[in-house]
Chains A and B, each alone.
Chain A
Amino acid sequence: KAGVTQTPRYLIKTRGQQVTLSCSPISGHRSVSWYQQTPGQGLQFLFEYFSETQRNKGNFPGRFSGRQFSNSRSEMNVSTLELGDSALYLCASSFTGGWGETQYFGPGTRLLVL
């Protein structure tokens, strides 16, 4: 069974631009969560989607948004990029996102904002 895939793997943008990252969950998984990983803050939860609905959101500004499609694939968008948005963005999938389930992570998208 294929794992979680993320595209693109690497991205370089300049301040003020916007970016869209994509995540395809493991087949059969309907919950997709997004995390931002930086050396200073570690792994921080961005938001979670299930059945095309955002169920949970972390403490990030409104510039960070996402959506989920009917096939469970998810995208996240960051508008008006800032230098501090440089990070590894990870998505994770699970069957329903419940507390007893393991979340499986994708390889991440490394975003560099210049």
Chain B
Amino acid sequence: EDKVVQSPLSLVVHEGDTVTLNCSYEVTNFRSLLWYKQEKKAPTFLFMLTSSGIEKKSGRLSSILDKKELFSILNITATQTGDSAIYLCAVPLLTNAGGTSYGKLTFGQGTILTVHP
């Protein structure tokens, strides 16, 4: 069964710290992995990592994908209180026949990050 597992489930740090969030996956026909940030309600898109783009960076956030070891990490440097949120990783599923399983994301449990001033 396809599975996405995140760790840790929660993390408490102070402003200025660097955090690393983990996402491991076991899915058939892997094509991409997505990271989202959920503050109040709507998860907002951060990164998509694919075979052709295994490292992404945006400001203080960066992410890498290790296709051999089947995991991804999300790194946040110099954390700020505004980084407090749930961070979700998700993998879109493909059918066994290799076709696209449209619109179907499998999510990890999420990591709750709390950044104290």
Contact = CB atoms under 8 A, between A and B. Distances in A.
Nearest to A88: B41
Interface string B28-57: 000110101000111111001010000000
Chain B: interface residue count, which band?
20 to 34
B14 interface: no
Contact of A106 (B31, B42, B48, B90): B42
A16 to B, nearest CB: 27
Contacts, number: 77
B34 A58 contact: no
Interface residues of A, number: 31
Contact of B104 (A3, A58, A106): A58
A42 B106 CA distance: 10
B44 A105 contact: yes
A100 B31 CA distance: 8
Interface of B: 31-32, 34, 36, 40-45, 48, 50, 88, 90, 92, 94, 100-110
23 contacts: A4-B42, A31-B102, A33-B105, A42-B108, A42-B110, A43-B43, A43-B88, A43-B110, A45-B104, A48-B103, A55-B102, A90-B41, A90-B42, A96-B102, A98-B100, A99-B94, A100-B32, A100-B50, A102-B48, A103-B34, A105-B42, A105-B43, A105-B44
